[in-house]
Amino acid sequence: MLHATRKVNKSDYVTIAQNKRARHEYFIEQELEAGLSLHGWEVKSLRAGKANINDSYVLLKDGEAYLFGATFQSFTEASSHVVCDPMRTRKLLLNKKELDTLFGCVNYKHYTVIALSIYWKMTWIKVRIGVAKGKKEYDKRIEIKEREWQVTKGRIIKNRG
């Protein structure tokens, strides 16, 4: 029996939360997609868009990866017998090869693993994580100069034409 394969559209990816400071504070060397182990009330709060991952990072211990520092606002209509901890450490669902890559980057190359965004991929909630190195102050200044030069260059070209 043959199954029809479904083509994935851009509309199937809906961003829930983004870490906007990440690209300003870090050089992102590599990006990975990971699943997220959640409770029912957390899924409901993500459906409502009540998540914050600005200060979150990935903690690697005991051969597993955990999302630490992400805040999911508790959903008031959720079950009353469940204790909602908005700052709970959540397990990331990665395969062994991806975990080995992360452990190698963190332990030997001294990289940091941070959460970049949380999004829906069809019916699944996914986390985009980045393997990153911190920027120095002068790196940030150079980036600002380059951005300002691009804007100025665009204005010059626009006024000439």
The model's pLDDT over 92-104, given as tens digits with 9 standing for 90+, comes to 999 999 999 889 9
Domain that holds residue 58: 11-136
Amino acid at 127: V
CATH code of the domain in which 121 resides? 2.40.280.10
Instruction: Tell me how many domains the chain contains.
Output: 1
Longest dimension (CA), the chain: 67
3 in any annotated domain: no
> Would you state the torsion angle of the CA atoms of residues 27, 31, 35, 39, taken in this order, to the nearest 10 degrees?
10
In the chain, which residue ranges form alpha helices assigned H by DSSP? 22-25, 40-47, 96-107, 137-160
pTM of the complete model: 0.75
Query: DSSP E strands: which ranges in 19-145?
Result: 26-36, 51-52, 57-61, 64-68, 71-72, 90-93, 112-121, 124-134
108 in any annotated domain: yes
Could you read off the pLDDT of 14-69 as tens digits, one per residue? 889 899 888 888 889 999 999 998 888 888 888 888 888 898 889 998 989 999 98
Strand partners, 36: 92
Could you read off the pLDDT of 50-61 as tens digits, one per residue? 888 898 889 998
